[in-house]
Amino acid sequence: MNKKEISAGGVVYRKDDDGKLQIQLIVDRYGKTTLAKGKMEPGETIEQTALREILEETGMVGRIVEPVDVIAYTYQHAEFGPVDKEVHYYLVEAESGDMQPQIEEIKGVDWYTPEEAWSRQESNGYDNNDSILRDALSKLGINV
């Protein structure tokens, strides 16, 4: 029986002062474009994990709008061997906060137009995030 690990995160968006949609992307410590996410802690719901990780990694307080999808894969852990990993992604509206990257974990965080966010994902993101970002944008009425 493989060890199981659950992470959660989100595609965070906001409307700027002109009412234009912006998507938040982070740059992880490996220099890749990605979405805020992290491991579930004891006693948390998956939704709480997603919002806590977004707050910790980016400084933004968010509100879950709806689930996007779950990515499942297995990876090799040095100590435990194969670990079955599930990452739950939500569509999250940023409500408040001062955007501040968590420097221990990530290299940067910023807001992009949906088109720019998609092109960064395509050129520098993780393949398994393609469908997550595409589905999230589609829920926001944008098709890439």
Tell me the C-alpha distance between 112 and 119, whole Å.
Answer: 10
pLDDT band (50, 70, 90) for residue 4 = very high
Tell me the C-alpha distance between 52 and 9, whole Å.
Answer: 9
64 with 51: CB under 8 angstroms? Answer: yes
- Does the pLDDT at position 103 exceed 80? no
pLDDT of residue 102: 73
pLDDT of residue 35: 96
6 with 86: CB under 8 angstroms? Answer: yes
CATH fold of 3-139, please?
Nucleoside Triphosphate Pyrophosphohydrolase (3.90.79)
* Whole-number percent of the chain with pLDDT over 70: 99
Q: What residue segments make up the domains of the chain, in order of their start?
A: 3-139
Taking residues 54-60, what's their average pLDDT? Answer: 93
24 with 111: CB under 8 angstroms? Answer: yes
- Does the pLDDT at position 101 exceed 90? no
pLDDT of residue 107: 87
How many residues can be counted in the chain? 144
pLDDT band (50, 70, 90) for residue 45 = very high
Of the chain, the end-to-end C-alpha distance in Å amounts to: 39
pLDDT of residue 58: 93
Mean pLDDT of the chain: 93
60 with 99: CB under 8 angstroms? Answer: yes
